[in-house]
Amino acid sequence: MSIKRIGILTAGGDCPGLNAVVRAVSKNALTHGIEVFGFKNGFDGLVRNEFIRITNETVSGILTVGGTILGSSNIANPFKYTLAPFGTPENPRNLSDVVMHNFKENMLDALIAVGGDGTLHMAQKFVEMGMPIVAVPKTIDNDLSATDQTFGFDSALHIATEAIDRLHTTAQSHHRVMIVETMGRYAGWIALRSAIAGGGDIVLIPEIPYNDEVIVKYILNRKSKGKTFSIVVAAEGAQNEQGETSVARTVAGSTDAIRLGGIANKISNMIEEKTGIESRACVLGHTQRGGTPTAFDRWLSTLYGTKALDMVLEGKFGYMAAFRSFAMSEVKIADAISNLKRVNPHGAEVRAALEVGMSFGSREIG
C-alpha cells in the first residue's frame, strides 16, 4: 500500500529516549515524503484530535533531550476514558469509536504507538478494531518479554547506580544503613542490576520474597565483621513472604491503578527498630525517568524508530519492533503483551550476586 500520512504518539510514563524515537520515525518518514502527525499526550490526542505536524525543524536537536515533545499520559485510556469534559472516574466512557473516527478523518495510513504494557494493550484493541498500528516498546522497567531490552532502561539503571555510588560515602561516614528504593513495578531488573553495579549488600526484588529476620541477621553479621554500614536496594514492587507489597495509592482510570511505593521507609523503620542501627530511606522516584538518555538509549531508540517506519512501509501492522541479539526484528503485539519478563530467581544474574556476597533477604535464596 502507498503510505502518505502517519500518526505517532507517546503514551504511558515518560522515559529517556522517547524524543529520539520520535526523531528517528519522523526523519525516516519525511525522507520518504510521508507527512507525520504527532498526537499530543498519548491516546488523549486521538480522542481530542490534538496534534502537531512534524517537520525536520520540529525534531532538530531533540536526540539528547529527555521526556517527549509530544507529551504523554498514563490515564487517558480511550476504552475507559475518565478525563473532563468527556468522562469522569465515576463514569468512564468508551471513546474508542471517537479515536477511530479521528484516525480516518485525518486520512492517516498508519499509527505508530510508543509505550509500555498498558499502551500496547490499548494498541492491540485498536488493531482488532481494524486500525493499522505498529508499536514501539517503551518502559524503564524492561519487563516486556518479546524484546531483549526496552529503551529508557539503560538510562534509569545508570541513574540508580550513580545514586547507590553516592550513598556509599554518606552511609560509611555516619555508620548507617541506607535503603534505596528503585522503580520497576513487578520486575526487579533496575534494582538487581544497579545493586550489582553499585555494590549493594542486600537487594529486594518482586521475584524473590524477603523475610525481615534474614535482613536483620545479615546486617548484624556485617557489623560483627567490622562493616559499619550497609546498602539495601529495594525494588518498589518487592514483596515479603506473606505476599505483601507496599502501595502508596491508587489512581482511578489508569491502565494500572496501583501506585507502588513505600518499601524503603518500611524496611528502614524495621531495621532501625530491630538492630538499633540508624537507617535512612532514599526514594529515587521519577529521577529515574528524567534527564538526558545515555548513549546506549539514544542508539537503541534510533534503531527502534527507524525500524518502526520500515515496518509501516512493509505493511507489518499489528506488530511491535523488537530488539533481539543486537538486531532488530518484529513480533506480534498480542505476543509481546502476553507475558511480563521478570528476573529468574535461579538465573545467572542472581547467582552472580550471591557469589559476590549479596543477600536477597530470603530464606530460600541467599
Give the pLDDT confidence of 7-64 residue by residue, as tens digits: 999 998 889 999 999 999 999 999 999 999 999 999 999 999 999 999 999 999 999 9
Tell me what pLDDT residue 262 has: 83
Is 141 among the residues known to form the active site? yes
Tell me what pLDDT residue 248 has: 67
Question: Which of 141, 154, 201, 297 does the annotation list as catalytic?
Answer: 141
Give the pLDDT confidence of 129-178 residue by residue, as tens digits: 999 999 999 989 999 889 999 999 999 999 999 999 999 888 888 888 99
Cis bond upstream, residue 85 (ω within 30): yes
Give CA–CA dist 126/264, Å, rounded: 39
- List C-alpha distances in Å: 105 to 29, 50, 101, 102: 20, 13, 6, 5
Instruction: Tell me the backbone φ, ψ of residue 263, rounded to 5 degrees.
Output: -65, -35
Q: Read off the pTM.
A: 0.91
Tell me what pLDDT residue 145 has: 83
Tell me what pLDDT residue 366 has: 64
Tell me what pLDDT residue 148 has: 92
Tell me what pLDDT residue 258 has: 72
> CATH number of 5-151+291-336: 3.20.20.30, 3.40.50.450, 3.50.50.60, 3.40.50.12780?
3.40.50.450
| CATH 3.40.50.460 is held by the domain 156-289+344-355 | yes
State the span(s) of the chain assigned CATH 3.40.50.460. 156-289+344-355
Give the pLDDT confidence of 266-277 residue by residue, as tens digits: 999 999 999 999
Calculate ∠ Cα 34-38-43, nearest 5°.
130
Average confidence (pLDDT) over 178-195:
94
- List C-alpha distances in Å: 319 to 200, 218, 334: 39, 47, 8
Tell me what pLDDT residue 288 has: 83
State the span(s) of the chain assigned CATH 3.40.50.450. 5-151+291-336
Structural contact between residues 244 and 211, judged by C-beta atoms closer than 8 angstroms: no
Give CA–CA dist 232/246, Å, rounded: 16
Give the pLDDT confidence of 231-244 residue by residue, as tens digits: 999 999 999 998 88
255 pLDDT more than 70: no
Q: How confident is the model at residue 252 (pLDDT cuts 50, 70, 90)?
A: low
Tell me what pLDDT residue 1 has: 64
Strand partners, 323: 328
Tell me what pLDDT residue 115 has: 93
Average confidence (pLDDT) over 312-318:
97
Give the pLDDT confidence of 52-101 residue by residue, as tens digits: 999 999 999 999 999 999 999 988 999 999 999 999 988 999 999 999 99
